[in-house]
Amino acid sequence: MDIKFEDGINKAESLEQISTQEIQAEPSLEKNFGWWSLFAVSFSLTCSWVGVSASFGTSIGSGGAILIIYGLVIAAFFSLCVAVTLGELISAYTNSAGQYYWTLQLAPERYRKLLAFVTALFSYFGCIFTCASISSSLANSILSLYSLNNPSFEYKRYHAFITFEVINVTLSVFNIWGRYLPYIVTSGLWISLIGFVVTMITCLACSSGRYNSGSFVFSDFTSITGWDNKALSFIIGLISPIWCFAGLDSAVHMVDDLGVKSGKVLIPRAVLCTVILGFLTAFAYSVAIFFCATDVSEVVDSSLPLLTIFYQSTRNKAAATLLAVLTILTGIVCNISAHTWQARVCWTMAGSEALPGSKYLKQIHPRTKLPVNAHFFSTFLVAIIGCIYVGSTTAFNAIITACICLLLVSYTIPTILLLRVRNNGFAHGPFWCGKLGYAANILTILWTIFCLIFLSFPYERPITNTNMNYVSAVYGGAILAIIICWFSYGKAKFIANKTE
């Protein structure tokens, strides 16, 4: 196994001179971030243990506990391949533009501008849908918690819409204070880890003597989706474990908050550590939670399966509420990190005139030293997606799938281009995995194809308007938007120079 992880910078002198400012015309951000705040943004965004708990209802009916348990192993393995690939690319081309900047560097001259533009928009759309998926999950959690403590409450779909929009706008405010942002996200990291430990230990302690059998957790397959093929039912249900590792490129876009030289080494480490710690926490948490679930049918039918498990475990409404609040607090930090991420992506794209209104979106606020215009524009787009959501489980599933696959496509385009040159004198950075990296690149591409195909299948049979998977419509809308943007302004205005 040939892995190189050296301190230092890229071997090629020409690449040593490339900085994020070569792709942006506006002043750089203040470099307030270090290792812990960088890792906090990356881990807090994926927050795998909360991700798997928030989407239990999406997958548990497709195979039961074993789908989550073994699905996490599968998702973590391929996410590790993605992390290695992203690490190699950001180490060689350390720029906060990320995926589309890598495409600019690696694509043939004839197709470079178009491919970079397409990659940029896929990346940005993926960010927006990821933030929307987190907001919708939080909205569902808060309403379910309120319902538990107020039995007379009658849920209406517009409640979810209003809660979604309030969450989106309120949490966006935390991203307008640059000096305090590293402290906010670092605090969020510890909130996440404390919440993980407290909820897991509490459930196990309160369920003592009432645990499920090992066969229920590790071997029993239960599907209520209507799919006769167990393997297909299992694969379709993988959406929940895969969602736990969405947004792995978030650290990539923090170069301007960190510095180029540090970013070459620290960002690959942050992405890898995010997958590893994410898997360890999500796997341990899922095993513990499923040992504590006493009535699986009630969990499947619940609007918030995790809250139901908390109540089954503790047999106490106040205790279940406290555990749910800890999970929601962690989800809030996750949403704040998502806002940080999407703002950085929007800002770097505006620096290359990749978005309408780039003149304003690429501006840095003189007082906060943050891309405030880009941030609020992204928040507005998330709010629009909230209008589509309106409390629909089917729409929530489509949003989750879209955020997964759109981001994977944005990773795959530069990965394919990397494969063209990696054995032809490619000037790699300090993080380089040799033959292991080559295998990771191949598996990243195959994983993207797999997800695009199987996560587009309907969730249940027989297929109806209410259980249809509408993610294909999302893909069609994204592609149509890219085509319109390209011909309306991108073809003429998008800046595609390698160095500017």
Which segment, 138-152, 174-188, 264-278, 457-471, is predicted with the most confidence on average? 264-278
Buried b (16+ CB within 10 A) or exposed e, 236-268: bbbbbbbbbbbbbbbbbbbbbbbbbbbbbbbbb
Residues 161, 163: Cα–Cα separation, whole Å: 6
Sign of CA dihedral 150, 153, 158, 160: positive
Tell me, rounded to whole angstroms, the distance of Cα 267 from its chain centroid: 16
Determine phi and psi for 235, rounding to 5 degrees.
-65, -45
CB atoms inside a 10 Å sphere around CB 206: 18
Q: Does domain 31-493 have CATH number 3.40.50.970?
A: no
Tokens for 166? Answer: 């309030």
Measured in degrees and rounded to the nearest 5, phi and psi for residue 224 equal -120, 20
Nearest Cα to Cα of residue 28 among 355, 259, 341: 259
* pLDDT tens profile 12-38: 334 434 444 444 444 566 666 788 888
CB-based contacts of 297, cutoff 8 Å, min separation 6: none
Greatest alpha-carbon span in the chain = 68
Contact indicator for 244, 43 with CB cutoff of 8 Å: no
- The answer on pLDDT for 498 being more than 70 is no
CA 44 – CA 33 distance, rounded (Å): 15
Q: Residue 1, class by beta-carbon neighbours within 10 Å (0-12 exposed, 13-18 middle, 19+ buried)?
A: exposed
Residue 318 burial by Cβ neighbours in a 10 Å radius (0-12, 13-18, 19+): exposed
Whether residue 486 contacts residue 343, with contact meaning beta carbons closer than 8 Å, is answered with: no
Residue 58 has pLDDT above 70, yes or no: no
Which run of H or of E encompasses 351? helix 317-351
pLDDT at 216: 86
Residue 254 pLDDT: 86
For 6, 19, 141, 193, 422, the CA distances from 267, given in Å and listed in that order, are 13, 15, 32, 21, 20
- Specify the 3-state DSSP secondary structure of 500: coil
Say how many C-beta atoms besides its own lie within 10 A of residue 315's C-beta: 12
Query: 295 versus 282: which is more confidently predicted?
Result: 282
Domain map (residue ranges) of the chain:
31-493
Q: What are the structure tokens assigned to 24, written together?
A: 């942006």
Query: In sequence order, what DSSP letters do the residues of 394-460 get, joined into one string?
Result: HHHHHHHHHHHHHHHHHHHHHHHHHHHHTTTT----SEE-HHHHHHHHHHHHHHHHHHHHHTTS-SS
CA 364, chain centre distance (Å): 25
Please tell me the distance from the alpha carbon of residue 418 to that of residue 102, in angstroms, as a whole number: 9
Does the pLDDT of residue 7 top 80, yes or no?
A: no
Q: Contact, 188 vs 418, CB < 8 A?
A: no
* Residue-wise pLDDT tens digits, 118-149: 999 999 999 999 999 899 889 988 988 898 88
What's the CA gap between 141 and 156, in Å, rounded? 14
pLDDT band at residue 9 under the 50/70/90 scheme: very low
State the virtual CA torsion across 48, 50, 56, 58 in degrees, nearest 10.
-70
Helix locations, 108-238, DSSP H = 112-149, 157-172, 181-206, 214-218, 230-236
- Average pLDDT over every residue of 291-310: 79
5 strand-pairing partners: 431
Q: Is the pLDDT of residue 311 over 60?
A: yes
Other CB atoms within 10 Å distance of the CB of residue 138? 23
Q: At residue 100, what is the residue type?
A: Y
Cross-strand partners of 431:
5
Q: Name the residue with higher pLDDT: 355 or 180.
A: 355
Q: Which of 23-27, 161-165, 415-419 is the least confident region?
A: 23-27
Q: Peptide bond preceding 462: is omega within 30 degrees of 0, i.e. cis?
A: yes
